[in-house]
């Protein structure tokens, strides 16, 4: 892997959808860099500190959320003189997002009083009263033709179906939820999944015309749904629950065809590979140190005291670190809080929040556990390569961790005092963005290694 130098950032960073640019917030400045040369191609000055960044899908425009002011500013990459400012006045702005056409901005006011659709073409605006959530509760079809917006009035949840062409309401229907948590269109745009708050285990599948196709409830007593995710192919719906189980439904019958348990004690028979992050002293003489620039010349640490991080293959049975959540505090750290599908829908990775240092990787084709990665620190973020079956994760350390079906390996970041708190892939899989608290760098990633590179630290 080849790493860039570290660049300053004070907020969000994100790649453009066309993979050509990276937008970086540096206080009140929006810096646009080229992803190949990392030279600054545009620099925009906002009226306040940038809290949020989002590209339009065509990579032509970019919006900045100045939520402290509160205000939205939008910029054009090809027309630097063009500017747009959105201010809701006393209503405030809690969140903003682009429409699929990249020519409309949707903002949610404070206290969810209304959702407003702002046009960049003719300055017209459309209002939707009483949106359910500020940042959730809005989902667009894959073809960008329709939007489903959750609203609540008279203590009842509703779905408003809008046309993204005229922004007229095409239909409104009530849903059978006590307190709707979120909504998501299926990848083939044929169904809408809705799930209730954790206090009521309820997953509902609706057709676009408002018919309830299926109601799923795994159990009644106890906290319910914590995370829901469609597979990219649209054939599977994964539901993570507070009972520490992952359930996968198929799109034909909406029945459960797989249930995966996350137990603190893993025993045989099991074909999964178990990788545990371990330290070992790294001894280097002066000649080796001169040949290796991974330890930069300005580093004054004693090379003999350095530690190399690698994965060690473990044997069954194994007991994973487990944290029992306190019974007297709300929002217990348990259940499937992190869940992500691979691009080919063959694998799904999960993290049980009561075992935050363990990442589980499940093989959906074989309906079995493929691997467990046991880290020294809690897993902060994971991301699948958009072009191949490769998973990267970070734990707030100075190392990057990767898994492929061939094995797992650790990568040392050759930057002083750089700890990875978040990561994102470029849309073409050529570049990986790594964020520190006050800086970021990018890594050019080669093809996945073969099975002989289980514990590489390059």
User: How does pLDDT run across 207-265, given as a tens digit for each residue?
Assistant: 999 999 999 999 998 899 999 999 999 999 999 999 999 999 999 999 999 999 999 99
Reported confidence tier of residue 38, pLDDT bands at 50, 70, 90? very high
Could you give the CA distance from residue 451 to residue 458 in angstroms, rounded to a whole number? 15
| Span of 206-210, 315-319, 350-354 with lowest mean pLDDT | 315-319
Over range 264-287, report the average pLDDT. Answer: 80
% of the chain with per-residue pLDDT over 70: 92
Reported confidence tier of residue 283, pLDDT bands at 50, 70, 90? low
Q: Judge whether residue 287 has pLDDT over 80.
A: no
pLDDT of the residue at 299 = 46
Q: Judge whether residue 77 has pLDDT over 70.
A: yes
pLDDT of the residue at 330 = 80
Over range 362-373, report the average pLDDT. Answer: 96
**Which residues, 6 or more positions from 214, have their beta carbon under 8 angstroms from its beta carbon?**
204, 205, 254
Reported confidence tier of residue 332, pLDDT bands at 50, 70, 90? confident
Q: Judge whether residue 405 has pLDDT over 50.
A: yes
| Span of 115-129, 174-188, 235-249 with lowest mean pLDDT | 115-129
Q: Judge whether residue 331 has pLDDT over 90.
A: no
Over range 291-313, report the average pLDDT. Answer: 58
Task: Report the b/e string of 71-97 with b at 16+ CB within 10 A.
Answer: bbbbbbbeeeeeeeebebeebbbbbbb
CATH class entry, domain 1-87: mainly beta
Q: Judge whether residue 300 has pLDDT over 50.
A: no
Nearest of 9, 6, 37, 32 to residue 21 by alpha carbon: 32
% of the chain with per-residue pLDDT over 90: 83
Backbone CA torsion sign across 337, 341, 342, 348: positive
Could you give the CA distance from residue 442 to residue 392 in angstroms, rounded to a whole number? 14
pLDDT of the residue at 140 = 98
Question: What does the pLDDT look like over 55-74, one tens digit per residue?
Answer: 999 999 999 999 999 999 99
Q: Judge whether residue 285 has pLDDT over 60.
A: no
Q: Starting at the earlier edge strand, list the strands of the sheet with 212-216.
A: 180-185, 192-196, 203-206, 212-216
Q: Does domain 93-217 have CATH number 2.130.10.10?
A: yes
Over range 273-290, report the average pLDDT. Answer: 72
Could you give the CA distance from residue 135 to residue 206 in angstroms, rounded to a whole number? 21
Question: What does the pLDDT look like over 131-174, one tens digit per residue?
Answer: 999 999 999 999 999 999 999 999 999 999 999 999 999 999 99
Over range 427-450, report the average pLDDT. Answer: 88
Q: What is the mean pLDDT of the chain?
A: 91
Over range 284-306, report the average pLDDT. Answer: 46
Domain boundaries, the chain: 1-87, 93-217, 261-458
């Amino acid at each position: 892997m080849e790493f860039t130098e570290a660049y300053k950032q004070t907020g969000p960073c994100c790649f453009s959808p066309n993979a050509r640019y990276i937008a970086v917030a540096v206080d009140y400045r929006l810096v646009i860099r080229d992803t190949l040369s990392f030279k600054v191609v545009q620099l925009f000055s906002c009226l306040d500190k940038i809290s949020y960044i989002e590209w339009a899908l065509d990579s032509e425009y970019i919006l900045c959320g100045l939520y402290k002011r509160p205000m939205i500013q939008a910029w054009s990459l090809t027309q630097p003189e063009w500017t747009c400012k959105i201010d809701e006045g006393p209503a405030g702005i809690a969140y903003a997002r682009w429409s699929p056409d990249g020519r409309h901005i949707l903002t949610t006011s404070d206290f969810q009083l209304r959702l407003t659709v702002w046009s960049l073409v003719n300055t017209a605006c459309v209002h939707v009263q009483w949106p359910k959530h500020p940042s959730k509760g809005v989902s667009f079809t894959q073809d960008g033709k329709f939007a489903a917006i959750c609203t609540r009035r008279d203590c009842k949840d509703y779905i408003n179906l809008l046309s993204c062409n005229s922004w007229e309401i095409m239909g409104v229907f009530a849903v059978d939820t006590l307190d709707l948590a979120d909504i998501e269109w299926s990848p083939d745009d044929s169904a809408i999944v809705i799930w209730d708050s954790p206090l009521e285990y309820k997953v509902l599948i609706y057709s676009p015309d408002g018919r309830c196709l299926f109601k799923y409830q795994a159990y009644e007593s106890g906290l319910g749904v914590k995370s829901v995710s469609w597979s990219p192919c649209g054939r599977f719906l994964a539901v993570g629950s507070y009972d520490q189980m992952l359930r996968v439904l198929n799109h034909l019958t909406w029945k459960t065809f797989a249930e995966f348990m996350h137990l603190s004690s893993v025993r045989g028979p099991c074909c999964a590979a178990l990788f545990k992050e371990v330290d070992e002293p790294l001894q280097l003489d002066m000649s080796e140190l001169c040949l290796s620039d991974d330890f930069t010349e300005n580093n004054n640490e004693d090379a003999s005291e350095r530690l190399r991080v690698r994965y060690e293959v473990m044997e069954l049975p194994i007991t994973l670190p487990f944290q029992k959540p306190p019974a007297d505090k709300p929002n217990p750290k348990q259940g499937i809080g992190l869940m992500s599908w691979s691009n080919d829908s063959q694998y799904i990775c999960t993290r049980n929040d009561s075992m935050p240092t363990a990442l589980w990787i499940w093989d959906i084709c074989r309906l079995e556990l493929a691997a467990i990665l046991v880290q020294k620190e809690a897993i902060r973020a994971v991301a699948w390569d958009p072009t191949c079956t490769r998973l990267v994760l970070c734990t707030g350390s100075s190392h990057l961790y990767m898994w492929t079906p061939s094995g797992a390996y650790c990568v040392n970041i050759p930057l002083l005092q750089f700890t990875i708190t978040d990561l994102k892939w470029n849309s073409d899989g050529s570049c990986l963005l790594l964020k520190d608290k006050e800086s970021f760098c990018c890594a050019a990633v080669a093809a996945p290694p073969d099975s002989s590179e289980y514990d590489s630290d390059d």
